[in-house]
């Protein structure tokens, strides 16, 4: 047992002790000697206790127990047999662990995890903790092991690994352990697989190529024993492009395959090695890429093939590669979409695309530099429901119609069938819920000056919503949420009579009724058409929607024919919301303008280069150009026919007429139409920005470094940009990061934990205002982790760790608990107890100098509690202890004299001055004796 101090410099405060002693001894004595000396001892102890507390005094016990932490390699490079051997070693060591010692276990791979905290537990089974095995991080394991070791006792680490480090730097942590006197014993494991291990070491393929070029693919192979196998390579469309037999030996060999001509765009290739009975298959596949630029590729998206046939023929004649698909077949990932240089949406409605696809098309233009062309028609632009979508944001026009074309306020009355047949579900959703969703969409589309009334009806009207102005659309939507299912079939005659009452009461100039009924449940038809006819004569139109085929569909169609509206027949109730949205937009905003017109050129544009006279058009869709758009062609009244603009890194065009025989029959038959179409699409093609932004990628260990170099048009480094990167894997997974500026115009990021494979890389550089100033597309190949490329571990590293720390190589199980060279005793801080000691002694010191208790008081207290014998023993000492008896004069032995004083009746008896002085002196002497001042 010893004493140590955390802050030994505080011991210099002991110099104040002589000062304390000098003051106590040289000061005048006012108390008894024994009190003064005892007080001095107490004060000395108080000062020493305070100095010890300030110095961080602690008691140090000699080291006794040993704490050992086992570091078990759980990475994929350690074969199952080797891991079982390591676990058996730990189990044997724990079985012979001394009684007072403790052991902990850490399992590590890519990261280190605690399997067991230090404890006297002697049993061990298979580890429960499973770290990611795709890397070996010995440094992380050593650091965590040092953290788990206690501050006292004998301490030791035992590393069980193949030494195949590919993350961290174990040597640095070993040096820290050596500085703390902690030895690291090493039990080397082998990195060889349990049996045959053939693998692909690496691949080499040109990262860029010209279209039509056949690329050489070089594949490096290796095996721990000679074996025959088969090597396969799949191409961009995941079809097999090469299959060859191979004979693999123990020496590295290279196989070269001449790939077929690659299509333009980003092409992934995957090499597979098939070998029977391969014990480790993780290293039998590898991805690479090549980026091929060549003939432009254009994707035409059309619902009806005839809508795209004219544009398709014109582009093919110009040797542009064209692919025509339906909306349902549009590429579902960025990786597939960016294989095309431009996309054309030809008279297709928004409802045929998922939300993800709409967002992907907008990002394709903004972030990837692709081109977008929207071609008009009855189901495009506003009539197609594209308003408020990301695609509208990418176009040079909005779906708003010019103010001069706006319709006057509209009153819409919706009659909804709430009979029992509307309870039928579709994909788990009742038909009534879908009909009400359509009504809610109508409410959301209302302008403030419009009006909405919703009449739920079966054999009688339900709770009617409205009439409410568009400014109270939120109230209308809330009330629609309260509509509930009714009973029998809908009495259409009574429903129309109620609807007529509301439409006639409305002051809006445009009035329209929409009926939503089941095709088999529309009863009470007699007289209903007369109501519709009368309303039509008053300027009220009617549209009918029938859900499902049935006997009443002809009557539902007749209602719309008499009412001057349209009939929508649908088998799916899920179509109703979109149908009602489109119908409402048609009523409120007359998007389509039809009639003969000759386009006029508003400003020059590359698409019109070499074109003078323009043929006639017979219709178009109303839109409003954006302020920064280039409006090229307009109708005679100024409406937009052709407009374009830059959106992010890409460009987009809006052609508001169609490209079919309906509105553009003279245009598509025009001799210059192929020339016009090619120039139109050519303007959309991605712009080459290689001079202003270049991409470089390379792997460093298990990290992928992505670098971008930016320049201004005059060649100077472009600094202060926000450079963002997007990496897209073969499965569509996306990794988005922001590059850091590491030098003038040089931006870089290092990506860890990236799965092996080939990645499409898209980089966008933006200025301080968020505007895209440059962009580039390239590729990156993340090689297979070194964890799977090794045939054996690194024994030299393990030996070096043991040598640095003074540990053993291949210790016996009982040796891992032997005391090390350096150990720390168990230290217990006593600063707080010393403070408490000083606080307890301080009142005692004060009592010794200031507090005096008479024996008579003690005797009285003893008598009070029944100890009378002890009280009598204290009573004879009363006079001596208090000093009162000795201070008074002895009693006289002779009778006192009688002093006669003559006084008059009017004069009091007054003692003489001498008598008073003697009395005061006697009292003062008694007080001093009581205080003990005369006991010396």
Tell me the pLDDT tens digit for each residue of 578-624: 778 777 767 766 677 888 999 998 888 888 887 878 899 999 988 89
Assign 356 to helix, strand or coil.
helix
Instruction: Look at 405 and 461; give whichever has higher pLDDT.
Output: 461
Q: Are residues 289 and 369 in the same domain?
A: no
How many residues would you count in the chain? Answer: 936
Q: Which two tokens stand for residue 350?
A: 């928004």
Instruction: Give the least confident one: 344-358, 646-660, 911-925.
Output: 911-925
Q: How far apart are the first and last CA of the chain?
A: 44
For residue 435, report the phi and psi dihedrals to the nearest 5 degrees.
Answer: -65, -40
Quick one: average pLDDT of 297-324?
A: 89
Whether omega before 467 lies within 30 degrees of 0, making that bond cis, reads yes
* Model confidence band, residue 396 (pLDDT cutoffs 50, 70, 90): very high
Cα–Cα distance, 52 to 58 (Å, whole number):
9
State the pLDDT at residue 260.
Answer: 87
Cβ neighbour number for residue 719 with a 10 Å cutoff: 13
Read off the pLDDT of residues 823-873 as tens digits, 9 standing for 90 and up: 555 667 777 888 888 888 888 878 777 776 666 677 777 777 777 776 676
Give the model's pLDDT for residue 875: 59
Distance CA 105, CA 238 (A): 45
What does residue 358 show for φ and ψ, rounded to 5 degrees?
-60, -45
pLDDT band at 765 (very low <50, low <70, confident <90, very high): confident
419 in the same domain as 518: yes
Mapping DSSP to helix (H, G, I), strand (E, B) and coil, where does residue 362 land?
helix
Q: What is the mean pLDDT of residues 325-349?
A: 88
Per-residue confidence band for 661, with pLDDT thresholds at 50, 70 and 90: confident
Instruction: Please tell me the distance from the alpha carbon of residue 269 to that of residue 756, in angstroms, as a whole number.
Output: 13
Q: Which range, of 370-379, 544-553, 650-659, 672-681, averages the lowest pLDDT?
A: 544-553
What is the sign, positive or negative, of the torsion defined by CA atoms of 523, 525, 529, 534? negative
How do strand 429-430 and strand 425-426 relate by DSSP bridges?
antiparallel
Q: What is the mean pLDDT of residues 338-348?
A: 90
Q: What secondary structure, in 3-state letters, does 506-519 show?
A: CCCCEEEEEEEEEC
Q: Are 625 and 767 members of one domain?
A: no
In a domain, 906, yes or no: no
Look at residue 593 in the predicted model and tell me its pLDDT. Answer: 83
For residue 453, the enclosing domain spans: 407-588
CATH number at residue 718: 2.60.40.10
The Cα 637–Cα 751 span in angstroms is 56
In whole angstroms, how large is the CA radius of gyration of the chain? 49
| pLDDT in the model for residue 652 | 94
Contacts of 235 (CB under 8 A, 6+ apart): 241, 259, 260, 262, 267, 268, 269
How many domains in the chain?
Answer: 7
Return the CATH number at 576. Answer: 3.40.50.410
The answer on 580 and 461 residing in a single domain is yes
Residue 932 has pLDDT above 80, yes or no: no
**How far is Cα 534 from Cα 540, in angstroms, rounded to an integer?**
9
The 3-class SS string of 371-419 reads: EEEEECCCCCCHHHCCCCCHHHHHCCEECCCCHHHCCCCEEEEEEEECC
Q: Which residues are CB-contacts of 785 (< 8 A; sequence separation ≥ 6)?
A: 134, 135, 166, 702, 756
Angle, vertex CA 711, rays to CA 710 and CA 715, nearest 5: 155
> Is the domain of 570 the same as that of 489?
yes
What phi and psi, each to the nearest 5 degrees, are found at residue 256?
A: -115, 130
DSSP 1-49: -EEEES-GGGGGGGGHHHHHHHHHHHSPP-S-HHHHHHHHHHHHHHHHH
Does residue 569 share a domain with residue 446? yes
Is 909 among the domain residues?
no
- From the CB of residue 912, how many other CB atoms can be counted at a distance below 10 Å? 8
Beta strands, E only, 768-870: 772-782, 826-829
List of E strands, 205-296: 208-210, 216-223, 227-234, 240-248, 253-258, 265-274, 285-293
Does 576 share its domain with 491? yes
913 is a domain residue: no
Burial 776-812 (b: 16+ CB within 10 A, else e): bbbbbbbbbbbbbbbeebbbebbebbbebbbbbeebe
Flag whether 903 is in a domain.
no
Residues 726 and 806 in one domain: no
Q: Is 12 helix (H, G, I), strand (E, B) or coil?
A: helix
Q: Which residues pair with 222 in a beta bridge?
A: 199
Q: How far apart are CA 131 and CA 115, in angstroms?
A: 10
Q: pLDDT for 64-118, tens place per residue? A: 788 999 999 998 888 888 899 999 999 999 999 998 899 999 999 989 999 999 9
Does some domain include residue 898?
A: no
Q: Of 261, 293, 325, which one is at a domain's C-terminal end?
A: 293
pLDDT of residue 908: 45
Percentage of the residues of the chain whose pLDDT score is greater than 70: 89
Q: What pLDDT band is residue 176 in, cutting at 50, 70 and 90?
A: very high
- Angle among Cα 88, 792, 254 to the nearest 5 degrees reads 150
**Residue 583 Cα distances to 333, 408, 506, 569, angstroms:** 32, 16, 20, 13
Are 316 and 329 in the same domain?
A: yes
For residues 335 and 431, state if they share a domain: no
- Interval 486-498: pLDDT, tens: 777 778 888 898 9
- Residue 779's nearest CA partner among 293, 265, 289, 216 is 289
- Taking the C-alpha atoms of residue 841 and residue 402, their distance in angstroms, rounded to an integer, is 95
CATH code, domain with 643: 3.40.50.880
Partners of 152 in the β-ladder: none
- Residue range 407-415: mean pLDDT, rounded: 87
Bridge-based pairing of strands 57-61 and 826-829 is antiparallel
Question: Where is the domain boundary, 244, 267, 293?
Answer: 293
Which has more pLDDT, 564 or 890? 564
Nearest to 746, CA basis, from 714, 787, 710, 772: 710
Q: What is the per-residue pLDDT for 195? A: 79
Contacts of 765 by beta carbon, 8 Å cutoff, 6+ apart: 693, 708, 710, 718, 721, 722, 723, 724, 747, 772, 773, 774, 775
Q: What pLDDT is attached to residue 912?
A: 57
pLDDT, the chain, mean:
83
How confident is residue 794, by pLDDT bands cut at 50, 70 and 90?
Answer: confident
pLDDT, mean of residues 44-72: 83
Instruction: Please give the Cα distance from 599 to 617 (Å, whole number).
Output: 7
Please indicate, yes or no, if residue 900 is contained in any of the structural domains: no
Instruction: Give CA–CA dist 876/506, Å, rounded.
Output: 122
Q: Are 855 and 874 in contact (CB under 8 A)?
A: yes
Residue 907 falls within a domain, yes or no?
no
Residues 308 and 257 occupy one common structural domain: no
More confident residue, 39 or 239: 239
SS3 556: helix
Residue 406 φ/ψ, nearest 5 degrees: -70, 140
CA 827 vs. chain centroid, Å, equals: 44
Alpha-helical runs (H) found in 149-214? 170-179
Could you read off the pLDDT of 360-382 as tens digits, one per residue? Answer: 999 889 888 889 999 998 888 87
- The set of residues, in sequence order, having a beta carbon less than 8 Å from that of 364 and lying 6+ positions away, is 334, 337, 338, 343, 370, 372, 650
If residue 766 lies in a helix (H) or strand (E), which one and from where to where?
A: strand 757-766
Residue 822's pLDDT is: 61
Q: Are strands 722-728 and 757-766 parallel, antiparallel or unpaired?
A: antiparallel
- The pLDDT, as a whole number, for residue 224 is 82
Whether residue 466 is found in the same domain as residue 342: no
Which of 240, 268, 293 corresponds to the end of one domain?
293
Contact 108, 69 (CB under 8 A): no
Is 636 a domain residue?
yes
CA distance 761 to 748: 13
Joined together, the tokens standing for residue 445 give 């589309």
Instruction: Say yes or no to pLDDT of 134 above 70.
Output: yes
Tell me the per-residue pLDDT of 863-915, one tens digit each, with 9 for 90 and over.
777 777 766 765 554 444 444 344 444 444 445 444 444 444 444 444 556 67
- As a whole number of angstroms, the distance between CA 886 and CA 138 comes to 90
813: which 2 tokens?
């199980």
DSSP calls for 468-501: EEGGGHHHHHHHHTT-----S-EEHHHHHHHHHH
- Upper half-sphere CA count for residue 709 (Cβ side, 13 Å): 8
pLDDT at 418: 83
| Separation between Cα atoms, residue 602 and residue 246, nearest integer Å | 67
Confidence band of 933 (pLDDT split at 50, 70, 90): low
pLDDT of residue 404: 59
CB 503 within 8 A of CB 513: yes
User: Which two tokens mark 67?
Assistant: 């704490």
What pLDDT sits at residue 927? 67
């Amino acid at each position: 047992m010893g004493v140590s101090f955390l802050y030994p410099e505080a011991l210099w405060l002991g110099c104040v002790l002589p000062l304390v002693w000098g003051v106590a001894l040289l000061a005048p004595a006012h108390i008894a000697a024994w009190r003064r000396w005892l007080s001095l001892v107490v004060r000395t102890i108080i000062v020493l206790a305070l100095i010890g507390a300030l110095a961080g005094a602690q008691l140090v016990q000699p080291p006794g127990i040993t704490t050992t932490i086992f570091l078990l390699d759980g990475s994929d490079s350690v074969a199952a047999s080797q891991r079982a051997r390591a676990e058996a070693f730990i189990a044997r060591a724990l079985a012979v662990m001394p009684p007072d010692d403790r052991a902990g276990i850490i399992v590590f791979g890519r990261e280190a995890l605690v399997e067991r905290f230090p404890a006297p537990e002697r049993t061990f089974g298979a580890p429960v903790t499973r770290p990611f095995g795709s890397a070996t991080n010995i440094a992380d394991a050593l650091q965590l092991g040092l953290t788990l070791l206690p501050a006292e006792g004998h301490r030791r680490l035992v590393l069980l690994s193949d030494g195949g480090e590919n993350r961290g730097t174990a040597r640095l942590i070993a040096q820290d352990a050596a500085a703390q006197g902690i030895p690291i014993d090493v039990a080397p494991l082998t990195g060889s697989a349990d049996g045959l291990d053939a693998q692909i070491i690496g691949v080499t393929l040109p990262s860029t190529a010209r279209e039509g070029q056949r690329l050489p693919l070089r594949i490096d192979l290796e095996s721990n024993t000679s074996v025959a196998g088969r090597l396969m390579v799949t191409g961009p469309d995941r079809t097999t492009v090469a299959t060859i037999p191979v004979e693999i030996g123990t020496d590295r060999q290279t196989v070269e395959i001449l790939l077929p001509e690659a299509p333009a765009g980003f092409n992934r290739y995957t090499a597979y090695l098939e070998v029977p009975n391969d014990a480790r298959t993780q290293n039998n596949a590898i991805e690479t890429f090549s980026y091929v630029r060549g003939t432009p590729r254009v994707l035409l998206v059309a619902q009806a093939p005839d809508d795209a046939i004219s544009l398709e023929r014109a582009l093919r004649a110009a040797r542009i590669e064209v692919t025509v698909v339906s909306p349902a077949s549009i590429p579902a990932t960025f990786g597939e979409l960016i294989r095309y240089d431009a996309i054309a949406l030809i008279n297709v409605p928004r409802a045929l695309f998922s939300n993800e696809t709409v967002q992907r098309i907008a990002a394709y233009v903004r972030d990837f530099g692709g081109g977008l062309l929207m071609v008009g028609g009855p189901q495009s632009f506003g009539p197609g429901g594209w308003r408020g979508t990301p695609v509208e944001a990418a176009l040079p026009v909005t779906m708003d119609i010019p103010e001069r074309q706006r319709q006057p306020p509209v009153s819409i009355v919706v009659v909804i069938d709430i009979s029992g047949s509307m309870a039928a579900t579709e994909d788990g959703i009742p038909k009534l819920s879908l009909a009400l969703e359509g009504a809610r969409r109508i409410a959301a589309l209302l302008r403030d000056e419009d009006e909405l009334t919703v009449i739920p009806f079966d054999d009688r009207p339900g709770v009617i919503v409205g009439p409410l102005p568009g400014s109270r659309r939120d109230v209308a939507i809330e009330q629609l949420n309260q509509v509930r299912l009714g009973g029998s079939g809908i009495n259409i005659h009574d429903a129309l009579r109620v609807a007529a009452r509301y439409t006639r009461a409305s002051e809006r100039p445009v009035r329209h009724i929409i009926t939503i009924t089941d095709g088999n449940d529309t009863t009470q038809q007699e007289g209903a058409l007369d109501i519709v006819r009368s309303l039509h004569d008053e300027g009220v139109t009617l549209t009918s929607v029938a859900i499902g085929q049935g006997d009443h569909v002809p009557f539902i169609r007749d209602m719309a024919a008499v009412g001057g509206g349209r009939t929508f027949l649908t088998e799916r109730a899920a179509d109703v919301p979109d149908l009602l949205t489109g119908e409402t937009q048609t009523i409120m905003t007359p998007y389509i303008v039809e009639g003969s017109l000759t386009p006029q050129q508003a400003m020059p544009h590359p698409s019109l280069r070499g074109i003078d006279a323009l043929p006639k058009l017979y219709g178009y869709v109303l839109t409003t150009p954006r302020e920064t758009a280039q409006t090229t062609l307009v109708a005679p009244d100024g409406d937009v026919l052709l407009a374009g603009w830059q959106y992010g890194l890409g460009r987009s065009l809006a052609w508001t007429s169609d490209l079919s025989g309906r509105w553009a029959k003279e245009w598509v038959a025009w001799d210059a139409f192929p020339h016009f179409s090619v120039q139109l699409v050519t303007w959309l093609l991605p712009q080459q920005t290689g001079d202003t932004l270049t991409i470089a990628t390379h792997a460093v260990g298990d990290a992928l470094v992505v670098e971008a170099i930016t320049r201004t048009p005059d060649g100077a480094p472009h600094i202060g940009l926000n450079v963002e990167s997007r990496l897209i894997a073969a499965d569509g997974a996306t990794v988005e990061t922001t590059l850091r500026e590491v030098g003038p115009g040089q931006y870089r990021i290092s990506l860890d934990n990236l799965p092996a494979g080939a990645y499409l890389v898209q980089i966008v550089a933006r200025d301080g205002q968020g505007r895209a100033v440059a962009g580039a597309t390239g590729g990156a190949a993340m090689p297979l982790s070194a964890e799977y490329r090794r045939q054996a571990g690194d024994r030299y590293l393990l030996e070096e760790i043991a040598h640095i720390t003074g540990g053993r190589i291949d210790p016996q199980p009982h040796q891992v608990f032997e005391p090390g060279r350096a150990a720390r005793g168990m230290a217990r801080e006593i600063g707080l107890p010393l403070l408490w000691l000083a606080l307890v002694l301080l009142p005692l010191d004060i009592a010794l100098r200031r507090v005096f208790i008479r024996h008579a008081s003690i005797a009285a207290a003893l008598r009070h509690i029944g100890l009378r014998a002890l009280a009598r023993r204290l009573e004879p000492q009363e006079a001596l202890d208090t000093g009162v008896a000795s201070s008074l004069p002895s009693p006289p032995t002779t009778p006192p004299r009688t002093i006669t004083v003559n006084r008059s009746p009017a004069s009091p008896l007054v003692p003489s001055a001498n008598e008073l002085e003697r009395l005061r002196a006697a009292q003062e002497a008694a007080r001093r004796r009581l205080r003990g001042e005369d006991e010396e």
